[in-house]
Amino acid sequence: MFENQEDRAFNGGPERERRTKRRFQIDQEVKYKMLYGQRIAETGVGRTMNISSGGVWFSTESMLTSGMPVELSMNWPVLLNDSCPMKLMIYGCVVRSNEKGAAVAIERYEFRTQGSRAFQQTAPVPVEARLSN
């Protein structure tokens, strides 16, 4: 699903390109949670290597189990309206994993705002904090 020339050896050699979605080389820290029902089975941190509307390829701390549901969280590299940071939440399933990383097929995703940078930089100090000094 997501691989470069080097990773094609993992799948048994070069083959015709089958991907239909455009991939973007986005290098961002990603946090992942492997889910087992409603429980978190494993957590880790990696880096995205490429992403498309259909899936994401990212580095992992260890091999992930294919077929397992996973939740990914990453800071989006573009601000909403040039001022508001966003977080991309991805929900999907591990389709492939090796010692370099894992490929996840995206089942659903959502962007979450994290508050305006202008507001974060100019927010007044809470009264409780000023009184405790």
pLDDT, tens digit, for every residue of 33-78?
A: 998 888 998 999 999 999 999 999 999 999 999 999 999 999 999 8
**Residues 55 and 1 sit within 8 Å (Cβ to Cβ):** yes
**Residues 59 and 44 sit within 8 Å (Cβ to Cβ):** no
Name the domain count of the chain: 1
Q: What is the pLDDT of residues 71-119, one digit of tens each?
A: 999 999 989 988 899 999 999 999 999 999 999 999 999 999 987 655 4
pLDDT at 117: 55
Q: Name the residue range of residue 75's domain.
A: 5-131
Integer angstrom CA distances of residue 85 from 14, 19, 76, 119:
39, 30, 7, 11
**Residues 72 and 41 sit within 8 Å (Cβ to Cβ):** no
pLDDT at 130: 44
pLDDT at 82: 87
CA 87/CA 99 separation, integer angstroms: 27
